[in-house]
A = this chain, B = another copy of it.
């Protein structure tokens, strides 16, 4: 069974030494976030994750959730209920919730560090409180005072949980297509009718009530078409009674559980709303705006899942590599001419390559996740409006990168970790393959990794023009690092990648300007859509490289000061070196792929994608094509 030890040393390095998270406690509303409190929370959550959640991870996978058709109820895997109770008792549902509702009012940056541990220890479990938190945020920002009073105390304490009900059979990426309808009842409530699929934590036995946040279209003549006519509703499983306790059962039922590739411990429900009573959140037809409050934090949260799984996969691959003996050390073999003793596989350069690839990407992602979360905190709480606005821009730019890059990366990382185990990585009992299966969903939900690049390039860069705000800290940090003596081989690749990113942006902007002049933006949009994935990948390298520059700068300062833990800081710098040497060169691929344009993507007609033109049966199988006659290619 895999093991998990929270990487507290590395987390503290990021939180305390690089970000100096204690400064957040100076913000109004974050006064609780003093260093001692944050540190003791990290320690407590580490222990809880290691001792309670991690041991339930394989159980959850093997057992999964079970559905009882008669009562339409769902049972979570053995042990989940007790763990959830403990989770609530320890106040872990309340960390970043407002004191007003019984929360601890901690910064999102701190919540992010804690969240990483849940994702590492037991992703399927962590999703239950994670989804509640999304519902909490949307209600806190857009809910009426009455709704807030009714739901936020219970969501904070964890007595109730929440969901996000977006997807329908015919509407996934394109939410404009949803069919669920809301009929106004005249008493301020709506009757919600429709089917939602892929609803994580849609039904379970962990909590006394569930509040579904449901996207629906109001059934009225003035409801706009498509995405502009969508509203958001709170639909509780049980309507709260006069005392605020779960009362009448609302007809919002789980109809079945999906059978999935992984995250078996989390219930993925098809939900049927059969005239269920719902309450409008925010304004009519402005549901997408409220939904994006959930969605954007959820996207950061999904990125964090990728990070958490990469970390735990790394730890176990490392242990195995330090333990497993196979093959002789390569230069000893050369030196002696005969096969010497076999050695631990961590001695083999290619195994080191696999490990360092995970290590460098995980540490970079951790830094980037916490730094991005800090932008969120600044954008919420900084006393200066300009600082808030700038942070918001950086946050908006980073969100699709954190979501898509971390999760694409995590699939690679968990695959690499399997690879270190050799054939044993394929066997269930080692638990490595579960990390890969659990992780696979992260590239899909909360906006597929095909959508994130469009969000980055089309919306954030082209429409909202956020690039300059993003580049400001990148360039400032590189400049600072160079000034404090960070060797140029650790900054140059990042500068080079940033230049490539800027010129790709400029090329597209010029095309856009020309398109505008001609009154036809079609070619520019197509070009953008075709290059968006490579663009996001290049931007991810810049962002990760930037984070490595920040970390190396601090590590170098520590070494200059002769600080304790010399090995830690030296390893940090050596890991940066690996990232610059072996990962950053990917920039050349993305750059060249973008430069080749969109022609090869749009050139082939839809009907010519198939390997069989026409159905096979229609063609005479007996009659081969005549051989090429011009020249004899054979035998080579």
A86 CB contacts on chain B under 8 angstroms: none
* Residues of chain B contacted by A606 (CB below 8 angstroms): 322, 344, 346-347
Docked complex: A200-230 residues within 8 A CB-CB of B: 225-227
- Give the residue of B7, B353, B634 whose beta carbon is less than 8 angstroms from that of A530: B353
Task: List the one stretch of A94-102, A133-141, A232-240, A476-484 in contact with chain B.
Answer: A476-484
A597-624 vs B, Cβ < 8 Å mask (1 yes, 0 no): 1111111111011111101100101111
A557–B315 contact, CB under 8 A? no
Count copies of this chain in the complex: 2
Tell me the chain A residues, 544-558 only, with Cβ under 8 Å from chain B.
550, 553-554, 557
Residues of A387-445 whose CB lies within 8 A of B:
387, 391, 394, 411, 415, 418-419, 422-429, 433, 436-437, 440-441, 443-445
B450 adjacent to A350 (CB under 8 Å): yes
**How far in angstroms is the closest Cβ of chain B from A373?**
13
Is the CB of A185 closer than 8 A to any CB of chain B? no
Task: Flag if B525 contacts A331 (CB, 8 Å).
Answer: yes
> Complex Cα distance A327/B177, Å?
9
Chain B residues, CB < 8 A from A5: 612, 615-616
Residue of B nearest to A35 (CB): B624
Q: Beyond A226-B339, A350-B533, A600-B577, is A326–B359 a contact (Cβ under 8 Å)?
A: no
Question: In the complex, what distance in Å separates the CA atom of A46 from the CA atom of B9?
Answer: 57
Q: Interface digits, A309-323 against B, CB 8 Å rule (1 contact, 0 not)? A: 001001100100010
| Residues of chain B within 8 A of A473, CB atoms compared | 636
A66 contacts B by Cβ under 8 Å: no
> B residues within 8 A CB of A433?
260-261, 440
Any B CB within 8 A of the CB of A246: no
Q: Chain B interface: which of A68-76, A277-285, A586-594?
A: A586-594
Contacts of A20 in B (CB 8 A): 627-628, 633-634
A 108-120 to B, binary, CB cutoff 8 A, 1 in contact else 0: 0000000000000
Is residue A43 contacting chain B, with contact meaning CB distance below 8 A? yes
Interface string of A343-361 (1 = CB under 8 A from B): 0101111111111100100
* Contact call B619/A9, Cβ cutoff below 8 A: yes
Q: Which of B342, B586, B634 contacts A589 (CB 8 A)?
A: B586
Q: A532 to B348, alpha carbons, bound, how many Å?
A: 12
**Hey, which chain B residues are within 8 Å of A635, CB to CB?**
23, 374, 378, 382, 387, 391
Enumerate chain B residues within 8 angstroms of A633, measured Cβ to Cβ.
Answer: 18-20, 477, 480, 550, 553-554
Q: Determine if A578 and B600 form an interchain contact, defined as CB atoms under 8 angstroms apart.
A: yes
User: Is there an interface contact between A596 and B589, defined as CB atoms closer than 8 Å?
Assistant: no
A354 in contact with B450 given A7-B612, A585-B589, A608-B567 (CB within 8 Å): yes
Q: A333 on the interface (CB 8 Å rule)?
A: yes
**A192–B618 Cα gap in the complex (Å)?**
55
Write out the residue numbers on chain B whose beta carbons fall within 8 Å of the beta carbon of A354. Answer: 450
Distance in angstroms from A348 CB to nearest chain B CB is 7
User: Given A441-B426, A624-B39, A356–B418 Cβ distance below 8 Å?
Assistant: no
CB–CB A621/B261 < 8 A: no
Contact B450 A198 (CB under 8 A): no
Q: Inside 8 A of A248's CB, which chain B residues have their CB?
A: none
Most central of A440, A526, A597, A601 by chain B CB within 10 Å? A601
Q: In the complex, A613→B445 CA distance in Å?
A: 35
- Taken together as a complex, chains A and B put the C-alpha atoms of A348 and B630 apart, in Å, by 39
Docked Cα-Cα span, A610 to B9, in Å, equals 10
Contacting residue for A533 out of B17, B42, B353, B362, CB 8 A: B353
Task: Decide if B40 touches A608 in the complex (CB within 8 Å).
Answer: no
A5-B612, A349-B602, A353-B530 as given contacts; A440 in contact with B426, CB under 8 Å? yes
A508–B21 CA distance with the chains assembled, in angstroms: 48
The answer, among B347, B440, B622, B625, for a CB contact under 8 Å with A40, is B622
What are the residues of chain B within 8 A of A581 when measuring CB–CB? 593, 596-597, 599-600
Q: With A and B bound together, what is the CA distance between A422 and B624 in angstroms?
A: 39
**What are 18 residue pairs bridging A and B, where the CB atoms are less than 8 Å apart in the complex?**
A7-B611, A9-B616, A10-B611, A23-B635, A167-B423, A172-B422, A174-B327, A225-B339, A318-B609, A322-B609, A333-B525, A349-B598, A350-B450, A411-B415, A425-B444, A571-B608, A585-B589, A588-B592
